[in-house]
A and B are shown apart, each in its own frame.
Chain A
Amino acid sequence: MGKVMILNGSPRAPKSNSKIYSDIFRKYCKLDTEYFNISKTNHIELCKKIGEFSDVLVVFPLYADSLPVTLLNFLKNLELNPPEKKPVISLLVNCGFIEYQQNDIAVKMMEQFCKKNEYKMGSVLKIGSGEAILTTFFNVLVKMKIRRLAYSVANKKYKTFTLTMPLSKRSFIKASTKYWDNYGKNNGVTHEEMDTMNIES
């Protein structure tokens, strides 16, 4: 029986959507799972543990079109401190844009890491509209898709899955504006203030 290590590569790991995605995965995965945030200080500890698992699920957001630095730095350390037994690496990547395809570069970079370091790539779930989808009634789609991801990892039937909000782009832009307006409102900041053209002034 395998065991899955879940690595959260979000810079705001404990409060991140990646944590929520990870929790959903843990709920549906029939294998034992262990969850870890990647921090600046625990790379070596994680490198030592990784060999104990049959599978790793790396959960992360897209940052500036590619891997977040938090994850990139960990991968560089893992390259220097490889485990004896290498697990299969699966991915759950999300971006705030409606096009889940905007995650493709990050997935290709992870494939490069795996190829260079002789890890087998497992399943991939690419989520679009990933910042807001969990707060909408479309979160039922998230659960369904992560359930399928968890099944594929547990049964070693690795596959690529995709998901985004089933909205037109125009509707998505309207919904995302509302989402960010509410975000600002919770901080006491108006739409007009958030819409400023000023930078550092």
Chain B
Amino acid sequence: MSEKMKLILSDTNLNIKPQNDTTFIDLSSLKITNCVGCFGCWTKTPGKCVIRDDAVKVYPLIAKSDRVMYISRTKYGGYDTVMKTMLERAIPIQKAFIRLVNGETHHVQRDVLPKSATIIAYGEISDEEKEIFKDLILRNAYNMNFTDYNIIFTSEEMLEETVRGEVLKWEK
């Protein structure tokens, strides 16, 4: 694995200027179709998605990052479409094979750095939806190799300011 990096994946364009070791990706500007569940990335071309769109540029960066920030609108207590589509397309960084993590069965990771995650969920989110989202990120932590994570709920109006504040914390 080459040098570590920091990655910000956002479902919307934001006016932020992260430092050089941080890559910002506005997923809404990319062409990413949904996973078709073919298992090709596990059983035909292991580690590579058979759909050759912009997602194939993103999931290697997820694997290489030791800090990630995922910024997403939520829907029914989960990620909304743009972020969820990318996360589903990131399964080539896992293997088909199963292992035990904290006593639960999960997929084995390929060359994926353990990572510290900041998840910024925005929009109008009810208390019930917040609880579901927290449970979801706990599950993601097992499946996406998070060593630790922080969830921040914010409004659409406060999003840019919230992200700037979190990026500043990374830079300290």
Contacts and interface: CB of A to CB of B under 8 A. Distances in A.
A76 B74 CA distance: 12
Contact of A65 (B38, B56, B75, B136): B136
A139 B97 CA distance: 21
Interface in B50-100: 56, 59-60, 63, 75-81, 84-85, 87-88, 90-93, 95-100
Interface string B30-56: 000011111100111011100000001
Nearest to A191: B97
Interface in A34-74: 61, 63-70, 72-73
Given A11-B36, A69-B84, A200 B60 contact: yes
Interface stretch (A25-33, A86-94, A103-111, A145-153): A103-111
A61 B99 CA distance: 20
Given A110-B76, A169-B103, A195-B95, 18 more contacts: A11-B35, A63-B35, A68-B37, A68-B88, A105-B135, A108-B77, A112-B128, A112-B129, A169-B105, A172-B105, A176-B105, A180-B96, A194-B96, A197-B47, A197-B111, A198-B46, A199-B48, A200-B92
Nearest to A188: B44
B171 interface: no
Given A11-B34, A172-B105, A173-B105, A64 B97 contact: no
Contacts of A110: 76
Question: In terms of DSSP, what is the predominant structure of the interface of chain B?
Answer: mixed
A184 interface: yes
B46 A66 contact: no
Interface string A176-190: 110010011011010
A180 B44 CA distance: 11
A109 B78 contact: yes
B76 A97 contact: no
Contacts, number: 153
A173 B100 contact: yes
Q: What range describes how many residues of B lie at the interface?
A: 35 or more
A118 B140 CA distance: 29
Given A97-B106, A109-B77, A199-B63, A66 B136 contact: yes
A63 B88 CA distance: 7
B116 interface: no
11 contacts: A69-B81, A69-B88, A97-B104, A104-B135, A105-B139, A108-B135, A169-B100, A172-B98, A183-B43, A184-B96, A196-B46
Interface string A2-15: 00000000111000
A173 B99 contact: yes
A116 B129 CA distance: 11
Contacts of A16: 37
A139 to B, nearest CB: 20
B110 interface: yes
A69 B82 CA distance: 9
B132 interface: yes
A194 B139 contact: no
A62 B106 CA distance: 13
B129 A199 contact: no
